[in-house]
Amino acid sequence: MWIIIEKDLNLIKFCDIREFILQRMDSDKLKYAISIAKGYNCAEAVYYVLYYLDKIYHDGYEEEALNELAINDNSFIFKYGEKDFGRAIKWKKAFFQRLFSLNNKDELESIPNYLKI
């Protein structure tokens, strides 16, 4: 859905999360937040954000946090659509191409299941 409404990637979202972590969290608080994410089954979403924060900013805390998440297979960060299309689809464009594109509608192979009538 986010691709269709042109809101799938936005640099300011990464910037906001980064600034919150740098200004408000130490290592213990970040570990606590990760434990909460794991408890709510959100570890992959947090991993995605931390993985790309490391690629964009490389502040130094990311590797420890990624290890704390204990994700063995991170191939999900290179795919989309499992919920919307019923299957995972590999991104055609690289992350930075998608991040700085006006939109990523060209990635869509079909319309999401929820839009089919």
Answer yes or no: is 1 within a domain: no
Quote the pLDDT of residue 65.
97
Quote the pLDDT of residue 9.
78
Answer yes or no: is 61 within a domain: yes
The rounded distance, in Å, linking the Cα atoms of 91 and 81 is 10
The C-alpha angle 53, 97, 45, rounded to 5 degrees, equals: 40
pLDDT surpasses 60 at 35 = yes
The C-alpha angle 59, 64, 16, rounded to 5 degrees, equals: 45
Answer yes or no: is 6 within a domain: no
Answer yes or no: is 2 within a domain: no
Quote the pLDDT of residue 33.
98
Q: pLDDT over 70 for what percent of the chain?
A: 82
Answer yes or no: is 4 within a domain: no
Range of the domain at 54: 11-115
Answer yes or no: is 20 within a domain: yes
Answer yes or no: is 92 within a domain: yes
Answer yes or no: is 101 within a domain: yes
The total number of structural domains that make up the chain:
1
Q: SS3 of 22, please?
A: helix
What is the value of pTM for the model shown? Answer: 0.84
Rounded mean pLDDT, 80-99? 83
Quote the pLDDT of residue 98.
85
Residue 61: how many other CB atoms lie within 10 Å? 19
